[in-house]
């Protein structure tokens, strides 16, 4: 990941006004989307970012003459220009114009028995992917398997609509039971159980389960409500990426909030969130400057805030600490990114995204291996040059391979063994992809970069390098967290934004979290 230069700490008190309506800790996507929404309402806003650029993990870095995407594989909730979905509509409505490129297919699924491309639909078309999944199960016409898959994906769409309503509105238990019956009926079940209830063939379940890597929890443990949103979005509407990496998105959002009067200061790490007997009163930076505010929106994890960032007189309820620590942190990431000396076509790379299972493993077995230092048996392989010719220099291509290990698996990594563990996993990734492609990728490497839970932790400051918020499970899905909002409530004037919010992980969900929290601030305000 991009490493910031050493920042000279100077007296920065002249940068700031004495008081702001809102201070946002972190210029990542959630903070930037919240700033867009709040500035439109006329709020006086200050964003403090510890790095020298915006975006958090929505960024890029440079190797040689090539800019490389740091984290994003693809985004949901974008949609076509003429029929925009939530994220595109929000950004364009706030004057942020991203050059979105549609990913033509959902994914290529490869295991020891199956190699098939699953095509995504447009504007809610789930018949297209349903046909491909049925064909992978040996059904050439639209028969019983197709009908079962279509029925299952239709349920996903209905649950997706319900989840969006819950995220956008304050709904009680009775309303959910009356108006969102599909969500209420399925909310206590894991995704695999729901799929099996439709009597889908194992191969169909394996293919449908492949998206677990975007949520970090295998289907057998993943709440159906969370998975329904992902399947509905990606299979029914397709995915998109910014033409110039995710940094195009974060940079344009930062430029727009500046135009709207928001003050952004980089190289300003927040050490303390300050309280008094009424609640939040402001923050103190690492350089010792105290800044007053009615509201603080915080991108740092609640675990970090409650452990070492709060300072002052407001008593923190014991139940709040217990509820926070009861949530399990999500997974981190291990990626190997190659710049290769041939074009994608010359290397036989025809698909943007390939979900590659190794050695007969599927989601549960592959997930369990993520509790170790590797090697891993599931790779999400991405080649941006398949859809963007100039993603790298002419005559070359980029190829990334990613797995999501549990950050705790790297707890024993130190300066003595880090390089060796990284090298072994990188070699395994490259050898696995080489076998799949039928080309020895080692012979074509111009540049190589690795991202590990250790480097992610170093860059973001997140404990164990987690980038996926809190782990999705049946105790902490959207319905459970929505129905227990007392455990989500914080100190008066303190709001959390980002992957750990109810909206969940991923770049589209964290943008949504900023939107929803901003609207909550406008409704409830700060300390009374």
Per-residue pLDDT of the chain (528 residues; tens, 9 = 90+): 444 444 444 455 577 998 999 999 999 999 999 999 999 999 999 999 999 999 999 999 998 889 999 999 999 999 999 999 999 999 999 999 999 999 999 999 999 999 999 999 999 999 999 999 999 999 988 899 999 999 999 999 999 999 888 777 777 778 888 888 998 889 889 999 999 999 999 999 999 999 998 989 999 999 999 999 999 999 999 999 999 999 999 999 999 999 999 999 999 999 999 999 999 999 999 999 999 999 999 999 998 999 899 999 998 878 778 778 788 888 999 999 999 999 999 999 999 999 999 988 888 899 999 999 999 999 999 999 999 999 999 999 999 999 999 988 898 899 999 999 999 999 999 999 999 999 999 999 999 999 999 999 989 888 888 988 888 877 666 666 666 666 566 789 999 999 888 888 899 999 999 999 999 999 987 766
Q: Which two tokens stand for residue 250?
A: 């974060």
Structural tokens at position 272: 């303390």
Residue 92 lies in a domain: no
Do 339 and 379 belong together in one domain? yes
What is the predicted pLDDT for the residue at 339?
A: 98
Same-domain pairing of 371 and 281: no
In a domain, 204, yes or no: no
Q: What is the pLDDT of residue 504?
A: 82
Residue 206 falls within a domain, yes or no?
A: no
The verdict on 453 and 335 lying in the same domain is yes
109 phi, psi to nearest 5 deg: -105, 125
Q: Say if 363 falls within a structural domain.
A: yes
Q: What is the pLDDT of residues 136-192, one digit of tens each?
A: 999 988 899 999 999 999 999 999 999 888 777 777 778 888 888 998 889 889 999
- Confirm whether pTM is higher than 0.85: yes
CA distance 305 to 194: 37
Q: Give the residue ranges of DSSP H helices in 98-239.
A: 127-136, 144-168, 173-179, 181-186, 191-197, 202-208, 224-237
For 192, the token pair is 């695999």
What whole-number distance in Å separates Cα of residue 400 and Cα of residue 426? 11
Domain count, the chain: 2
The pLDDT score that the predictor gives to residue 168 is 75
307 and 336 inside one domain: no
Phi/psi at 501 (5° precision) = -75, 170
430 and 350 in a common domain: yes
Domain boundary among 415, 439, 460: 460
Residues 6 or more apart whose CB falls under 8 angstroms from that of 372 comprise: 405, 409
> 478 and 226 in contact (C-beta within 8 Å)?
yes
CA–CA gap between residue 519 and residue 522 (Å, rounded):
5
What is the model's pLDDT at position 477? 61
Residues 343 and 413 grouped into a single domain: yes
Nearest-angstrom CA–CA distance, 528 and 517: 18
Q: Last residue of a domain, which of 412, 442, 460?
A: 460
Q: Same domain for 360 and 442?
A: yes
* Domain membership flag for residue 167: no
CATH of the domain at 38: 3.50.50.60
Helices and strands in the chain: count of H runs, count of E runs: 17, 21
CA 487 – CA 31 distance, rounded (Å)? 22
Whether 511 and 454 share a structural domain: no
Residues 440 and 365 placed together within one structural domain of the fold: yes
Residue 95 located in a structural domain: no
Q: Within this chain, do residues 263 and 293 fall inside the same structural domain, yes or no?
A: yes
Q: Give a yes or no: residue 38 inside a domain.
A: yes
Please give the residue range of the domain that contains residue 407: 331-460
Question: What pLDDT was estimated at residue 163?
Answer: 87
Clarify whether residues 266 and 380 are in a common domain. Answer: no
Residue 263 counted as domain residue: yes
Domain endpoint, select from 413, 442, 460:
460
Please check whether residues 254 and 311 belong to one and the same domain.
yes
């Amino acid at each position: 990941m991009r490493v910031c230069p050493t920042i000279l700490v100077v007296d920065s008190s002249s940068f700031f006004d004495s008081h702001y309506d809102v201070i946002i800790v972190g210029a990542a996507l959630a903070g930037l989307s919240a700033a867009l929404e709040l500035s439109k309402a006329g709020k006086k806003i200050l964003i403090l970012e510890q790095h020298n650029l915006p975006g958090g993990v929505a960024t890029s870095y440079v190797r040689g003459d090539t800019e490389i995407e740091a984290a994003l594989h693809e985004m949901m909730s974008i949609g076509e220009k003429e029929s925009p979905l939530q994220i595109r509509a929000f950004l364009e409505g706030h004057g942020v114009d991203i050059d979105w490129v549609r990913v033509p297919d959902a994914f290529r699924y490869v295991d020891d028995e199956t190699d098939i491309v699953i095509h995504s639909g447009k504007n809610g078309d789930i018949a297209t992917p349903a046909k491909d999944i049925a064909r992978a199960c040996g059904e050439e016409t639209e028969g019983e398997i197709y009908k079962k898959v279509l029925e299952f994906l239709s349920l996903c769409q209905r649950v997706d609509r319900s989840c969006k309503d819950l995220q956008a509105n304050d709904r009680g238990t009775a309303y959910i039971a009356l108006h969102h019956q599909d969500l209420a009926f399925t909310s206590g079940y894991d995704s695999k159980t729901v799929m099996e209830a439709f009597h889908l063939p194992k191969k169909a379940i394996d293919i449908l389960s492949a998206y677990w890597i975007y949520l970090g929890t295998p289907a057998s443990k993943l709440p159906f409500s969370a998975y329904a949103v992902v399947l509905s979005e990606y299979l029914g509407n397709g995915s998109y990426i910014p033409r110039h990496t995710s940094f195009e998105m974060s940079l344009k959002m930062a430029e727009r909030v500046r135009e709207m009067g928001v003050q952004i200061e980089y190289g300003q790490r927040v050490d303390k969130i300050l309280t008094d007997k009424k609640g939040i009163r402001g923050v103190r930076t690492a350089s010792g400057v105290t800044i007053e505010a009615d509201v603080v929106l915080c991108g740092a994890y609640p675990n970090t805030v409650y452990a070492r960032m709060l300072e002052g007189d407001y008593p923190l309820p014991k139940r709040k600490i217990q509820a926070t620590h009861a949530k399990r942190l999500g997974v981190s990431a291990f990626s190997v990114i190659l710049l290769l000396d041939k074009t994608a076509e010359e290397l036989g790379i025809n698909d943007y995204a390939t979900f590659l299972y190794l050695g007969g493993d599927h989601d549960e077995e592959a997930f369990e291996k993520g509790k170790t230092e590797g090697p891993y048996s599931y790779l999400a392989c991405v080649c941006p040059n398949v859809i963007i010719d100039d993603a790298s220099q002419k005559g070359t291509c980029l190829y990334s391979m990613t797995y999501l290990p549990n950050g705790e698996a790297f707890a024993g990594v130190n300066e003595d063994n880090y390089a060796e563990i990284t090298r072994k996993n990188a070699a395994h990734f490259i050898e696995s992809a080489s076998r799949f492609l039928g080309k020895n990728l080692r012979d074509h490497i111009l540049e190589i970069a690795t991202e590990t839970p250790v480097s992610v932790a170093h860059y973001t400051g997140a404990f164990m390098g987690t980038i996926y918020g809190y782990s999705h499970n049946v105790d902490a899905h959207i319905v459970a967290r929505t129905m227990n909002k007392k455990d989500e409530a914080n100190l008066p004037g303190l709001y959390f934004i980002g992957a750990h919010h109810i909206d969940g992980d991923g770049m589209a969900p964290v943008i949504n979290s900023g939107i929803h929290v901003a609207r909550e601030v406008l409704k409830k305000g700060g300390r009374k």
